[in-house]
Copies of this chain bind each other. A is one copy, B any other.
């Protein structure tokens, strides 16, 4: 089933204790597309400036991403510069230059308007509304946001919640949106405001799916070395939506599987700077990691005979 992403396409300059990048490929639509396209073709909508490296879009196209919805603006590309703390748990934004992104007005190309699976990357919720206005009959709309919009455009965002099926946010965003520090109560608050499902991402700890019928927790893949956390959340979304689009199955069991694909993609994202790790892997590596997740959480609770008699 067709899978559409609308989001930022950026040039990131990132510094971590393990190195630095300058003008490396980044942005929500880019991480999402790199991750999702390993599983399923992606239709991508965004804007780049005249200074954007054409090789980057060509690379995405080779991977199965339809980049015909990427608009080429006359100004500079969106740039983000940030620095992570020694333990990668905090980051400081050093510079944000919106460039062509400031005027971004997403126009969905005609062939993309019948997309069945839609991911609204973290952009102004007013623009997320405009995207949905152009989509005819989506099967599932998932959406990300950030604290900046939660504070600055709260009403537009809460209106948007009524139009989407899945909100994917991190724990601090869930807390700020709901005003509740308990993640599960925060998720219930969000469910009452529209979405059928909430995915709360918890960084190095994992992610939890909450809907009316189930709670499913997937831990983060146990990595001894993380190079750059940038894009982990969008890559998670790419794995989640990529799996749903290719399977076209919204059963509880398959939503759980999608969470595992999300966690796998998030773990690959942080193993290298920018999208580099995605350029090294294919479906075989993803499948292998998904199987490792199975071993990470598997347990059998049936008591053994000796145990039952010992009670």
CB-CB under 8 A from A202, the residues of chain B are 205
Which partner residue on chain B sits nearest A188 by CB separation?
Answer: B224
B307 x A247 contact (CB < 8 A): yes
Q: How far is the CA of A294 from the CA of B86 in the complex (A)?
A: 36
Instruction: Name the segment of A43-51, A121-129, A160-168, A295-303 touching the other chain.
Output: A295-303
Q: A239 to nearest B CB, angstroms?
A: 13
A293 to B254, CA, bound (A): 19
A257 touches B300 (CB 8 A): yes
Per the bound structure, the CA–CA distance linking A97 and B226 in Å amounts to 43
In angstroms, Cα B183 to Cα A308, docked, is 35
List A217-237 residues whose CB lies under 8 Å from chain B: 217-219, 222-226
Q: How far is it, in angstroms, between the C-alpha of A223 and the C-alpha of B181 when the chains are bound?
A: 12
Q: A247-B310, A304-B249, A307-B247 are in contact. Are A222 and B298 (CB under 8 A)?
A: no
Query: Contact: B208 with A222, CB < 8 Å?
Result: yes
Residues of B within 8 A of A182 (CB): 87, 223-226
Residues of B within 8 A of A217 (CB): 206, 219, 222, 296-297
B-binding residues in A (CB < 8 A): 86-87, 181-185, 188, 202, 204-206, 208, 214-219, 222-226, 246-249, 253-254, 256-257, 259-260, 283, 290-291, 293-301, 304, 306-307, 310-311
